[in-house]
Structure 1
Amino acid sequence: MTASTIDYNISTQVKQLADDGIIGLKGAFTPQWADSMREDMMSAFWSAIQRPGGAVGRGPRRWYVEIHPENFGGFVDLVTHPWVVDVCDNVLGPDYQIVEIGFDVPFQGAKYQPWHRDFPSPVDTYRDRKITSLAFNLTGVDVTEDMGPFEVAPGTQYDDGRDWKHEMFPDKSVWGQFQERATRKYPSRGDVSCRSALTVHRGTEHLSPIARPVMVLGVDAPGAGHAALHDMMVTQDWHAALPQSVKKHLICRVVDELVPVTQKHDIEGLVMGADPL
């Protein structure tokens, strides 16, 4: 359920994204909508954790789970939200591609992640300063300091990174330059953020007994190529009922019957936790 009042200036948002690598919209959805999303995430987690490849470790007591779009009751609400559509259109172009839906969930005992980006930077970004992929995040809880809030280093989306481990993990000797810029995010249920997947970030230590699931929507510009890291599938009836405005952007297989997702995008460098700087 979209919140009744949505107020933003898309030109300002696009400029901020270009400068900082991250933007957000407070109250994009109602808290009740977010509560339903949380239920979908946690149900999917308990199912995924029981099968090989269903939940991928992103550090101690922290997992990532890809899901089928139709197993998230708010999927169409999310991808048709005016702000989400506006950002995608204005940053990635009118032929943007929805390539991923999943969620990250840390539990009590999750440690600091190393500073990282989600994949190596393409030449379009580190040389030409063009953003070709976006990650939209939606929290399932009102985030507090003890819930391992997301930490991001604004403006790092254009860092070259070709000399980093796997072109994703800067050496610990330079973590200080990210820590100097770092800001922690404390979103509430119903808020949406959007970042370049290349903006350097990390999850922090999670002390709370309350899990902090975060939905992730991945969107590409044409040619970015990240659909190959995922395998979204939908059933024929569900696909047939989608608005045309969603169908034209959704990169997926249309199948007779859904099968459990076996994840392809395993970020090896996140399996072990890291000490904070």
Structure 2
Amino acid sequence: MDSQHQSVGAEEIQRDIETLRTDGIVGKKSAFSREWAENMREDMMTAFWTSIQRPGGAVGRGPRRWYVEIHPEEFSGFVDLVTHPWVVAMCENALGKDYQIVEIGFDVPFQGAKFQPWHRDFPSPRDTYEDRRITSLAFNLTGVDVTEDMGPFEVAPGTQYDDGREWKHEMFPPKEIWPTFQSRAVRKFPQLGDISCRSALTVHRGTAHASPISRPVMVLGVDAPGAGHAELHDMMVTQAYFDSLPDIVKQHLVCRVVDELVPVTQKHDIEGLVMGSDPA
């Protein structure tokens, strides 16, 4: 889909890795063309309208907000994304040379979506809360130019190392400490073609969505070896598709090779997000 992969310098990567380790999130502007990102949006919305019609196809992440997992073949830009030099370099430097691609999906809020509770995507492993080692990454790519009324993503930088074992499901901090996150909260307004990379443990939330324009965002999940999140997903590829993949993708993709793709039935249901929240 996109042939404009830019090279990335060692200094840029070192700086971005340092920002990731400090803030828990970092971005790269204009990693892809706007046309590429518009095609990605089309793929996301096509997959959404298909998945919402079958049980287990789309998981509620709050009122008027859903998460849909897809197979690599359902996203025409998948190879472009996972071979982008910045994505590869961030994975190698943060997670190690044997990083594992475990998830591809998208989150989509519509008009009427509410504030989510502050949360992280998984319980923190000892490697992170004790040793300050990042063992999983989530790359996000917006399908629209995000504006204030589109329920922008809100993140609390530096919270990826918070222990969290006392939180509900080890993922949801209690309301009484929400002001801690709100005091450092940053809202993100990415444009078509931008990529962000964050620790899945950096505390974040979606905000209230007033716009009639939906805000789909692609999510690529990558693990360090042993992180274990592949068990929450079930990526499949057909043999012909697998055979067509570059070696750098085959080496890192955790998936089943099947004769025929079966729609994903979601396993990673974040129970605490289903009801939504107050902006308190």
Category of TM-score, reference length = shorter chain: over 0.9
Counterparts of 2:77 and 2:160, CA distance in 1: 29
Counterparts of 1:274 and 1:257, CA distance in 2: 39
User: Which secondary structure state, in structure 1, belongs to the residue aligned with residue 56 of structure 2?
Assistant: coil
Post-superposition offset of 1:6: 5.5
Q: Is the 8 A contact 1:2 1:30 kept in 2?
A: no
Post-superposition offset of 1:7: 5.6
Q: Is the 8 A contact 1:3 1:27 kept in 2?
A: no
Post-superposition offset of 1:5: 5.0
Q: Which residues of 2 match residues 3-82 of structure 1 at below 5 A?
A: 3=4, 9-82=12-85
Q: Is 1:99 the counterpart of 2:102 in the alignment?
A: yes
Q: Is 1:195 the counterpart of 2:198 in the alignment?
A: yes
Identity of aligned residues (%): 76
Counterparts of 1:53 and 1:70, CA distance in 2: 19
Alignment match, 1:123: 126
Alignment match, 1:153: 156
Q: Is 1:205 the counterpart of 2:212 in the alignment?
A: no
Counterparts of 2:248 and 2:39, CA distance in 1: 24
Alignment match, 2:253: 250
2:99 alignment partner AA: Y
Q: Is the 8 A contact 1:2 1:81 kept in 2?
A: no
- Render the CA deviation track for 1:48-92: whole Å, top value 9, x for unaligned: 000000000000000000001011000000000000000000000
User: Which secondary structure state, in structure 2, belongs to the residue aligned with residue 24 of structure 1?
Assistant: strand
Q: Calculate the TM-score normalised by the size of structure 1.
A: 0.99
1:262 alignment partner AA: T
Post-superposition offset of 1:157: 0.1
2:200 alignment partner AA: A
Counterparts of 2:6 and 2:253, CA distance in 1: 27
Alignment match, 1:167: 170
Equivalenced residues, count: 277
Q: Is the 8 A contact 2:153 2:204 kept in 1?
A: yes
Counterparts of 1:20 and 1:3, CA distance in 2: 28
Post-superposition offset of 1:3: 4.0
Coordinate RMSD, CA, aligned: 0.9
User: Which secondary structure state, in structure 1, belongs to the residue aligned with residue 15 of structure 2?
Assistant: helix
- Uncovered stretches (5+) of structure 1, i.e. residues with no partner: none
Q: Is 1:109 the counterpart of 2:112 in the alignment?
A: yes
Counterparts of 1:127 and 1:80, CA distance in 2: 32
Counterparts of 2:42 and 2:225, CA distance in 1: 33
2:246 alignment partner AA: P
Relative to structure 1, the CA distance from residue 255 to residue 7 in structure 2 (aligned partners, 3 Å threshold; closer, same or farther) is: closer
Counterparts of 2:83 and 2:260, CA distance in 1: 25
